[in-house]
Amino acid sequence: MKLIFQLIMPVQAFIRLLWLLIHFAYGFILLFVNRLFYGKQWFYGERGAHIVKNWMRRGSRILGLNIQVSGTACGGASVLVSNHISWLDIVAIAATTPVIFVSKADLQHWPIVGVLAKLTGTVFIKRGSLFAVHKTLGFLKEVNNRGRKTVFFPEGTTTRGEGVNKFNSGLFESAYISNCPVQPVAISYFNRGRPDRKIAPYVDDDHFIRHLWNLLLQRKIDLQLDFLDEMQAEKFSRQDLAQACQLRITEVIETSAMINADYPVEAKEAAYVLAN
C-alpha cells in the first residue's frame, strides 16, 4: 500500500503542475485583455482588484494552500507589513485581500512570475539605492492615494519562520507621506499540525522549480494569516513603528507555533478557511 501511494504522489503532483500551468496561461489572457480594454493601470480599479484576487485564490487552491484567516484587513488605503517566509506569502495575502506589493527588483527576471508581477502593478525596488527608495515611496504614495492597500516585507529576505528578523524602517515612510494606518500581518506555515520549517520556506539557494515540485508533492500546507490591529504612524517615530510591528508579529507567530504544536487544529475546526 505504501509503495502504491509513493507511485501515485508524483502522478498527482504532475497533474497539479499541468493545472497550474493552465492557470498561469489563463492569467496571462485575463491580464492582457484587461490591459487592452482598461489601460496600463487597470489593476487600480475595483474590477481589476477583484479579478487579481480571484485569480490568486484559485491559484492558492491548486498549490494546496489551506489558508486560515484571523482578523480583518484594513479597509481603504493602508500599509500592510508582514514577516517573510516564502513566495507563497504573496499568493496567500493577495488571495485574501486586494493589494499592491513592493518587491525586490530581482523578481522582474523570474520566469512567468516576474511578468505576472509587472502586469498586476507590483512596485519594484532596487535595494541599497537611496534614489530607488525615494522613487518607490513616490509610487506607494500614488497607490495609497487611490485608496488601495500596499504590502511590503520589512525583513528584506525570507526566513524559515522560527523567528522574525529586524525590520528595516525605510519603506515605513510611505505611511507618513500617505497619511494612512499601518497593519502588521503575521504568517505561519504548518504541516500536519506542526510548524513547517522545510516545505513552505523558500530560503538560501532554493531553486524555484525544485521548491514548487516539492510543494506539489504535498497534499496540502496549512497557512495561518493573522491581520493584527492597525497602528497610527504619526504616534511613532519611523524606527519605533518598525520595531513595534516586528514585536507584534513575533509574539503572534511564537504563540501560534506553541498552540499548534501542543493542540493541533484540523482545518475544519478553524473559524474561517479561505480554501473551502
pLDDT tens digit at each of 276 positions of the chain: 555 555 677 888 999 999 999 999 999 899 889 989 988 888 888 888 999 999 999 999 999 999 999 999 998 899 999 999 999 999 999 999 999 999 887 777 776 677 778 777 888 887 766 677 888 898 899 999 999 999 999 998 899 998 899 999 999 999 999 999 999 999 999 988 889 999 999 987 788 889 999 999 998 999 999 999 999 999 999 999 999 999 999 999 988 766 665 555 554 444 344 544
In a domain, 177, yes or no: yes
Mention every residue, 6+ apart, whose C-beta is less than 8 A from residue 37.
Answer: none
Domain annotation covers residue 276? no
**Is the Cβ–Cβ distance between 44 and 142 less than 8 Å?**
no
255 located within any domain = yes
Looking at residue 274, what is its pLDDT? 53
Statement: the pTM of the whole predicted model exceeds 0.85: yes
Start-to-end CA span in the chain (Å): 29
SS3 272: coil
Residue 254 and residue 273: Cα distance in Å, rounded? 21
Answer for the pair 151, 93: CB distance below 8 angstroms, yes or no: yes
178 occurs within a structural domain? yes
User: Any idea what DSSP says for residue 273?
Assistant: B
Q: What is the pLDDT of residue 40?
A: 84
Q: How many structural domains is the chain composed of?
A: 1
| Domain-embedded: residue 274 | no
Specify if 245 maps to a domain.
Answer: yes
Residues in the chain: 276
- Residue 202 inside a domain? The answer is yes
**Structural domain range at position 153:** 2-269
User: Is 243 part of any domain?
Assistant: yes
92 secondary structure, DSSP code: H
Taking the C-alpha atoms of residue 97 and residue 75, their distance in angstroms, rounded to an integer, is 10
